[in-house]
Chains A and B, each alone.
Chain A
Amino acid sequence: MKLQFPAEAEAVRAEFSAWLDANTPSVAEATVRPRSTADSPPWARRFQCAMFDAGWLLPGQPPEFGGRNASLLEQFVIEEELMRRRVYHSFNPQGLSIIAPSILMFGTPQQKATWAVPVLRGEKTAALGMSEPGAGSDLAGLRTRAVADGEGYVVNGQKVWTSGAHDSDFILAFVRTDPDVPKHKGISALIIPTATPGVTCRPFGSICSKDDHDFNEVFFDDAFVPAENLVGNLNNGWHVATGTLGEERAMLWLSNYERLDDVINNFGARVRGTELADDPLTQDWYGRLLVDAMALRLLGYQSVAKTASGHDPAEQSILKLFGSEAAHEATNRALETLGPLALDHTIDSAPYNHMNLDQFSASWFDRYCRSFAVTIAGGTSEIQRNIIAERILGLPR
């Protein structure tokens, strides 16, 4: 056991750090802000492309896909350095972290060139079409249907919670292609351009604001999708959905760590020098928060090490559950402790950071609300608990 990373990994971190010093856009360049998670402003697209060209964007990939064949540990220190600086390497995070890697893993050479590489180079943005009104936690129960028709498929149905769909160029959608087999076995993954006739994206406001338009309902009415847009084999979509994240999954906990670290820093800066810093009740929850953040980091490091040595990280569920609930607790406590100081929802809770998503510096109320997104999206806390109970503790289904 050691508290330090190996020297080779630290050398990569130093090299990347120097690159970021030289290439991160300035505040003046970054005045145009994104309005959704698929609305990447031109300056952000240029930066993302520069990351791609320098092999820092998806470091585990070969150079033609924006990487440098980095080891998992090297990938991790690169991610960690981005997190430490609060630099978003893409303002289309799902495109970069889920959709492009899925296409690189399961797609044809032509799909990689047409869809994945443009997403990575910041030329296209993408949205992920998974949840439906009737298929949330029970994702495999999805009902949007794709029926073979000549040289392609005709798609009918509806998706919901599709982040950034209205600003995206295409949706990686999971659709039912065989209704007569057990539900996991009749799903396929399709690339559906949002400009396709019959595709309608309708953004809706969130708990944070009526104008916070990231989530969409997406309707498919006889939308025709060419056969060449099928990702992976027909009826193998569940494999694509669950296998997409692979090694990337080993680092998802970093975003929850970032949330915790933000509350630690921003709340700390807000109360230092005031009587709240000396308040026993404040110290009680703030101390817990510091311990939570440390524990998340330690457990996260352990899961990275396990993944690197080829073990199946069932631990991801622990990190997701623990990290998201800790983030919720922290934002809840911060808001309550600040009392009337947290009332004004137009006042940012953190200094402006032009390379960060604006929601991370939003008001304390906004942050509190958004913390629910983390305990719900990507598998609710309840689902994570079921997974841990069954896969780790061995309790009966």
Chain B
Amino acid sequence: MELELDDDQRTLQETVRGIIAKECTPAFVRAVIEDGLDPSPWWDTMVGLYWPALAIAEDVGGLGMTWIELAILLEELGHAVDPSPYLATTTQFVPIVRRCGDAAQAARWLGGVAAGGITGALALGEHTVRATADDGGWRLDGSVAYVVDADRADEIAVVATAHDGVGVYVVERASAGAALTIDPIPVFDHTTHIAGLSLEGVVVSGDRRLGGSDLAEGIAVAVEEATLGWSVVTVGACQRILELVVDHVKQRHQFGVPIGSFQAVKHKAVDMYVAIQRARAIAQYAALTFVEDDPRRSIAVSMAKVAAGDCQEVVLRNGVQLFGGMGFTWENDLHIALRRAKLCVTMFGSTIEHRRRVARDALLGEGAA
């Protein structure tokens, strides 16, 4: 197994780090949180760098890279606690269109994302949204809770059930009018947008119903990509916390010595580090299963979510503790990364759910059930 980044991937990682250090600084993120600064210019910068196009196929205008490169970027964005619509657009909207859309739809929306024209979201309403045929188009009724970026994405891919089964309908937020109600939630992570979606007779044209084959499988895999996206972002946020903590315990003196020289402190820091290594290794493995279309993909994604969930638990507990009182202040950037890391366990299945899924697959042979 070759599980090391190659030279190109390492170069990408360094480039991304360099750009983020200049353009998505802690001060910028804090201004988004405290002053409501609009993060759009940062998104425009990313568009200018072709970052949304990274893992989109070349034939629709993307850069044609893989989940490995996407994961490199997502980890760094997690590290910075990126306030942009990057995560939902690239790991939720893009996968659902790619896996469920036909060629024309891929060109339209994936091409749109790659060109930087649109952002997207994914609303999983299989059991809560009904689609009915309506004069050549479709009418959507129902609601979906907790949709990432529903309040700011240009296009929302809504999974809904029609008379002929489950389908995906791409709703243009701006043109849906009063039939679409969006209720943003005041999320504890102030840099992530999550909203509830109510559709009361939202009408979409026929060409906005994704026309690929095997939609159920496509939706399932897109959800796996979304789940992996959260996992990778969590690793990045945890890495940030470890770095903050290591700097702190090297500088903070008590009893005449740096507190980082105490074994009790060292050992907690090491447990954070090991948890991150474990989570990163499994996230990379899961990303590789997408690249190689490996049959272990589905369970690998659950493992990545488990390892990320375990990781944030250790990193947040030890991280705040090692900062002492300073970890309890608003001024410290620790809580900004803490919020992003903690958000992970609330989205796309809890750690325990995924852990049990991994176990059930092994003990009961339930496969991807």
Contacts and interface: CB of A to CB of B under 8 A. Distances in A.
A298 B284 contact: yes
Contacts of A272: 363-364
A284 B363 contact: no
Contacts of B258: 395-396
Contact of B2 (A2, A271, A299, A393): A2
A397 B258 CA distance: 10
Given A287-B354, A291-B303, A268 B4 contact: no
B359 A286 contact: yes
5 contacts: A5-B1, A284-B359, A291-B355, A298-B282, A395-B261
Contacts of A4: 1
Interface in A358-397: 382, 385-386, 388-390, 392-397
Contacts of B303: 290-291, 294
A301 B270 contact: no
Given A295-B307, A395-B249, A264 B362 contact: yes
Nearest to A274: B363
Given A284-B352, A385-B267, A305 B3 contact: yes
B243 to A, nearest CB: 10
Contacts of B307: 291, 295
A254 to B, nearest CB: 14
B306 interface: yes
Interface in A251-270: 264, 268
Interface in B269-301: 269-271, 273-274, 277-278, 281-282, 284-285, 288-289, 291-292, 294
Interface in B34-89: 68
B220 interface: no
Contacts of A318: 273-274, 277
A340 to B, nearest CB: 20
B360 interface: yes
B284 A288 contact: no
Nearest to B365: A272
B108 interface: no
A388 B363 contact: no
B352 to A, nearest CB: 6
Contact of A386 (B266, B358, B359): B266
Interface in A318-349: 318, 321-322
Contact of A290 (B5, B246, B281, B362): B362
A293 B277 CA distance: 13
Given A306-B4, A394-B250, A299 B260 contact: no
B317 interface: no
A1 B250 contact: no
Interface size class of A (residues with CB under 8 A): 35 or more
Nearest to A264: B362
B6 interface: yes
Contacts of A3: 1, 285, 288-289, 292, 294
B interface secondary structure, majority: helix
A114 interface: no
B359 to A, nearest CB: 4
Contacts of B362: 264, 268, 286, 290
Interface in B317-369: 352, 354-360, 362-364
B356 A283 contact: yes
What are the 3 A-B residue pairs with the smallest beta carbon separation, nearest first?
A287-B355, A389-B266, A287-B359
Contact of A284 (B9, B270, B281, B355): B355
Contacts of A394: 246, 250
Interface residues of B, number: 50
B102 interface: no
Contacts of B354: 287
B254 interface: no
B3 A302 contact: yes
A382 B267 contact: yes
A15 interface: no
Contacts of A278: 363-364
Interface in A59-97: none
B306 A288 contact: yes
A321 B267 CA distance: 11
Interface of A: 1-5, 264, 268, 271-272, 277-278, 280, 282-284, 286-288, 290-292, 294-295, 298-299, 301-302, 305-306, 309, 318, 321-322, 382, 385-386, 388-390, 392-397
Given A272-B363, A393-B269, A288 B246 contact: no
A302 B355 contact: no
Contacts of A388: 270, 273-274
Given A291-B310, A298-B282, 13 more contacts: A1-B3, A1-B6, A1-B288, A3-B285, A278-B363, A288-B355, A290-B359, A302-B3, A305-B3, A305-B4, A318-B273, A389-B267, A395-B261
A396 to B, nearest CB: 4
A45 to B, nearest CB: 34
A291 B306 contact: yes
A156 B349 CA distance: 63
Nearest to B68: A1
A385 B260 contact: no
A269 to B, nearest CB: 10
Contact of B281 (A264, A277, A299, A396): A299
Contacts of B355: 283-284, 287-288, 291
A395 B260 contact: yes
A4 B293 CA distance: 13
Nearest to A278: B364
Q: Which among B273, B288, B307, B362 has the highest number of chain A CB atoms within 10 Å?
A: B362
A386 B263 contact: yes
Contacts of B282: 291, 294-295, 298
Contacts of A295: 277-278, 281-282, 307
A301 B273 CA distance: 18
Contacts of A287: 306, 354-359
B1 A268 contact: no
A305 B266 CA distance: 27
Interface string B240-274: 00000010011000000110110101110111011
B2 A1 contact: yes
A396 B260 contact: yes
Given A278-B364, A283-B355, A396-B250, A298 B281 contact: yes
Contacts of B356: 280, 283-284, 287
Contacts of A396: 250, 257-258, 260-261
Contacts of B274: 318, 321-322, 388
Given A287-B306, A393-B273, A396-B261, A2 B359 contact: no
Contacts of B267: 382, 385-386, 389
